[in-house]
Amino acid sequence: MRKPIIAGNWKMNKTAAECRELVTALVPKVKDAKCDVVICVPFTDIALAAELTKGSNIKVGAQNVAWADSGAFTGEISAAMLAEAGAEYVVIGHSERRQYFGETDKTVNARLTQALKYGLKPILCVGEKLEEREGGMTERVCATQVEGAFEGVSAADAEKVVIAYEPVWAIGTGKTATDEQADETIGYIRSVVEKLYGKNTADGMRIQYGGSMNAKNVDGLMAKPQVDGGLIGGASLKADDFAYIVMAAK
Ligand code: 13P
């Protein structure tokens, strides 16, 4: 049995003052959650979010991590900095990073390896673009991204990773994948993990769905056997909406 995990990805939203307001409202609303609850916040909110969630069941995550320990990498944040600030999770390879900031399977692999080295739990994002789905390339794209990300990663380390299947065409568009599409593609991703690491690792790996997941579609998605939770963008920015999704994940 895999424990579901619901993670909010705030993206570039919430100043520290707004973070305080949201987290303060969220803590009591999700205290009886049956799933793991994570909020992936902007770097500048991590220490505050960690302080505000202390003693609660909410874990804090970052949205990226540098691939080097330290040094001349202007604008990057190291794994040690994240861990010290209170992050336990880190989103890696989000499609917005791939699309706007030149992230490749190679850099995703380097960041993933680095996160694991420092004990951060990666949430690895994969997913196809609209033209790739329409061209029947979904499986090949997801397989390439998963294989690339896990290059050189041991089975013991791979087991610490959560994968988020996020079809790019469903992100921020209000166009969710159908329950069947999510279930089918996540099942396929699990088969790729099985080929890399064997059945036990694949069966234990949590694979979330992400892309316009909200209070209306969470029940249908979570009812699917392959869907182990969600990575939530827009709907994670309001305490009531995010709490509803969290409480629906059992
Ligand atoms: P939305 O939920 O806003 O579609 O964003 C999904 C996402 O990209 C989460 O990482």
Percent of the chain with pLDDT over 90: 97
The ligand 1 site (C-beta within 6 Å) comprises: 9, 94, 166, 171-172, 210-213, 231-235
Catalytic residue, from 103, 128, 132, 166: name it: 166
Active-site residue, 94 included: yes
pLDDT per residue over 2-11, tens digit each?
999 999 999 9
Q: How far is the CA of 149 from the centre of ligand 1 (A)?
A: 20
Q: Whose CA is nearest to atom 9 of ligand 1?
A: 233
206 pLDDT tier (thresholds 50, 70, 90): very high
* CATH number for the domain running over 5-248: 3.20.20.70
DSSP the chain: -PPPEEEEE--S---HHHHHHHHHHHHHHTTT-SSEEEEE--GGGHHHHHHHTTTSSEEEEES---SSSSSS-TT---HHHHHHHT--EEEES-HHHHHHS---HHHHHHHHHHHHHTT-EEEEEE---HHHHHTT-HHHHHHHHHHHHTTT--HHHHTT-EEEE--GGGTTSS-PPPHHHHHHHHHHHHHHHHHHH-HHHHHH--EEEESS--TTTHHHHHTSTT--EEEESGGGSSHHHHHHHHHH--
Backbone angles phi, psi at 62, to 5 degrees: -100, 180
Active-site residue, 166 included: yes
pLDDT per residue over 110-166, tens digit each?
999 999 999 999 999 999 999 999 999 999 999 999 999 999 999 999 999 999 999
Q: How far is the CA of 211 from the centre of ligand 1 (A)?
A: 5
189 pLDDT tier (thresholds 50, 70, 90): very high
Per-residue pLDDT at 171: 94
Report domain extents, the chain.
5-248
Q: Whose CA is nearest to atom 7 of ligand 1?
A: 233
pLDDT per residue over 34-72, tens digit each?
999 999 999 999 999 999 999 999 999 999 999 999 999
Q: How far is the CA of 138 from the centre of ligand 1 (A)?
A: 18
Q: How far is the CA of 40 from the centre of ligand 1 (A)?
A: 12
Region 221-232: what's the mean pLDDT?
A: 98
Per-residue pLDDT at 92: 98
